[in-house]
Amino acid sequence: MTKPIDPVDLTARLVRCASVTPAEGGALVLLERVLSDAGFTCTRVDRGGVCNLFARWGAKGAARSFGFNGHTDVVPVGDEAAWTHDPFGAEIVDGYLYGRGATDMKSGVAAFAAAAVDFVRDTPPDGAIILAITGDEEGPALDGTTALLDWMAAEGEAMRACIVGEPTCVETMGDMIKIGRRGSMTAHITVTGKQGHSAYPHRALNPLPAMARLMDRLASHTLDAGTDHFDPSTLAIVTIDTGNPATNVIPAQVRASVNIRFNDTHTGASLTAWLQSEIDAVQAEFGVTITQDTKVSGEAFLTPPGALSKLISDAVHAETGNTPEMSTTGGTSDARFVKDHCAVVECGLVGKRMHQVDERVPVADIATLKAIYTRILRAYFSQP
């Protein structure tokens, strides 16, 4: 009988791969070997210098196809001298596995890979299991999961439902899953006037009062009151800068940036239009020129509570005793791309130590996560 895959050992081996975005670091090579040995058909879907891995067990185009999505790239270590343990050593101390990416999200990848391998070996399902793993979630995310989904569409590969294995819990295993995410966008705004001597302000056109008025209008505006599944949208002013070291010069330009986290009341396009209307009003009032350069990182989305979220919630409760809150809080994840392909829910570890110095995860939680994923697969493929 084949020995089950130990998700803790697989996590440790992945952590030892120094896969800081965009370096592959050997992590996808390791996973491809593990999955290929278990009968998965593996394909590297590299694009734009980014390494990605697609793996499928079962028939292409199967009517029932369950997917997992995750990433093996990690954020930089930062000050390595501040770490108590080697950030790529995967040391286990007092029940914790230490290392960059231990929480976000090599444990999640190891858990769903181990669950998938053991499941198809023990109970070959009537259908397909797909793993879509990227090396570009922590970076620009232009050639990661999007590249995998583009390739899948071209090749006729499809997931009918998907779990993104990002950390989702707040304090204890099983206390939260994500059924959606807020949208995110950043607007870079430039106000241009006319430079002049501060002793003769009538000979200049100061852009600063216009910027101050605009920022006040934006920050004072209530975008919405929230929805059934989302908190109210927020706008944060993140920088205002003139680059002017002189106190006797009125600058010609001032720049500012705002970040908006928005719910499904809005779209990136509707908020861009609202920003432009505010810009137009201030521009007319002050006689300056104002431009915006806006980037939408992801639209708000929701997978309404239903069959998929119940299946996952039931599995989490069975393994942890917790009934998870169905949340849409937090930043963005690659679920924002997967949602255009199929129904998607995020379910993973406790995330409070991700990206920190001495990032670590309880080894017991890794085993629990594998058990949750295994129970989900059994439940999904046992349905009529």
Catalytic positions, please?
A: 73, 137
Tokens of 72: 């093996």
Q: E strands of the chain, at which residues?
A: 41-44, 52-57, 65-71, 92-93, 96-98, 128-134, 161-164, 176-178, 180-181, 183-192, 196-197, 234-241, 249-250, 253-262, 289-298, 301-302, 325-327, 343-346, 360-362
Amino acid at the residue 128: A
- Looking up tokens 């090749």 gives 155
Strand partners, 235: 260
Measured CA to CA, the distance from residue 143 to residue 279 in angstroms comes to 33
- Residue 249, token pair as written in the block: 């010069």
SS3 call for 378: helix
Q: What values do phi and psi take at 22, rounded to 5?
A: -100, 20
- How long a stretch of residues is the chain? 384
Task: Report d(CA 148, CA 44) in Å as an integer.
Answer: 9
Inter-CA distances, 96 with 15, 20, 359, 364, Å: 13, 21, 10, 8
How many Å apart are CA 341 and CA 173, to the nearest integer? Answer: 28
Element (H or E) spanning 30, and its range?
A: helix 27-37
Contact 97, 361 (CB under 8 A): yes
**Beta strand 325-327 with 176-178: parallel, antiparallel or unpaired?**
parallel
Q: Is the peptide bond before 159 cis (omega within 30 degrees of 0)?
A: no
Residues ≥6 apart with Cβ < 8 Å to 377: 66, 115, 116, 119, 125, 129
Q: Which helix (H) or strand (E) holds 149?
A: helix 145-155
